[in-house]
Copies of this chain bind each other. A is one copy, B any other.
Amino acid sequence: MSGPLPAHTLTDMEETDSRSTVETVADALTEAVRDGRLAPGQRLTENAFTSRLGVSRSSVREAFRRLTADGLLTAEPHRGVMVRQLSRNEVDNLFQVRGALETLAVKLALPVLHQVPETLVALQADLDTAAEQGDMNRFSELNARFHRLFRETADNPLLNETLTRLSNSLYWLQFRVLVDRRDVFDTNRQHRQLTDCVVADDTAGAEAAMLDHVENARQLIQSLPDDHFAAPPAPAKSKAKGNQRNAKA
C-alpha cells in the first residue's frame, strides 16, 4: 500500500494535453483553415498530416471526418477531402436554410436579450465604432460574435450547432465580403435595426430585420467574382469542346 504514485502528474509533455489526439489534429486543421494557410478548394492528403503532425493515419482520417461533419471540409469517396468551397448554388441553398434558422434564433433569444440587453448593446456599440473607423477585420469578428450571441442565447443546442456548421462553411466568403466601406455601413445599419427591435421587444420586427440582414449578406457574397466559388457540378458529358484552359487567360 506504500504510496501508489502513478498519480495524475504525467502531464510533462507540452501543455494541457487533456484533449484527445483527434481533437488536437482537428483544432490544428481548423486554425490552419481560419488563418488561410489552407485555402478553400485545396486538397488535403492524409499522409501530409501524419508526417507533419506526428500522428497516425487513423487519427488524421477521423479528424477529417469530424471537420467534414462540421462543415469545414468536404469529402468525396476515393478522392479525399478538401477545404470546403461552395458553389454559387450551394450558397443560395445555404442562405435559404440560414434565413429560416437565424430567424428562429432571433425569436427564441429575444425574450432573454430584451431582459438582459447589456451584452447586446455593448456589442452593438463596438460594431458602430468599428464601422465608423472602417476597421473591416474587427467588424467581421464582431459580426460573427453578434450572430453567435443570438444563436447561443436561444438555448437550443441543436439550433446552435446547425447554425455553427453553416457558419463554418461560409467562413472565408463571409470574411472577404466586407471589403467595401459602404457595405460595412449598410450591414451595420441592419444590425442596429435588429438591436433596436430587441430593445423594443418587437419580435416580428427583429425577425424581419434578421431576414433582411441575411438576404443582404447573400447578395454581397454573390457579388464576389467567380474565383471565390467552386465550379458547379459537371453537367455530364456534353460536347462542350470550348477552350477550357484558356478561360483564365
Contacting A156 at CB < 8 Å: which of B58, B77, B93?
Answer: B93
Of B20, B90, B94, B159, the residue contacting A93 (CB under 8 A) is B159
A114 shortest CB reach to chain B, Å: 19
Task: Name 15 extra pairs, CB < 8 A, besides A96-B104, A162-B162.
Answer: A20-B77, A69-B69, A90-B158, A93-B156, A93-B159, A94-B158, A96-B108, A96-B156, A96-B159, A97-B104, A97-B156, A97-B158, A99-B104, A100-B100, A100-B103
Task: Name which residue of chain B comes closest to A61, CB basis.
Answer: B62
Confirm or deny: A123 has a beta carbon within 8 angstroms of a beta carbon on chain B: no
On whether the beta carbons of B162 and A97 are closer than 8 Å, the reply is yes
**Copies of this protein chain in the complex:** 2
Closest chain-B Cβ to A181's Cβ sits at a distance in Å of 32
A157 within 8 A of B: yes
Task: Name the B residues within 8 Å of A94 (CB-CB).
Answer: 158
Are A157 and B108 interface neighbours, CB within 8 A? no
Query: What total of chain A residues lie within 8 Å of the partner, measured CB to CB?
Result: 22
- Counting from the closest, the 3 A-B pairs by CB-CB distance are A100-B104, A100-B100, A93-B156
Q: How far is the CB of A62 from chain B (nearest CB, A)?
A: 7
Closest-by-CB residue of B relative to A156 is B93
Whether the Cβ atoms of A97 and B93 lie closer than 8 Å is no
Encoded as 1 (CB less than 8 Å from any B CB) or 0, chain A from 26 to 62 comes to 0000000000000000000000000000000010001
Please, which residues of chain B bring their CB within 8 A of the CB of A162?
97, 162
User: Closest Cβ of chain B: how far from A77's Cβ, in Å?
Assistant: 7
> Which among A65, A158, A162 has the highest number of chain B CB atoms within 10 Å?
A158
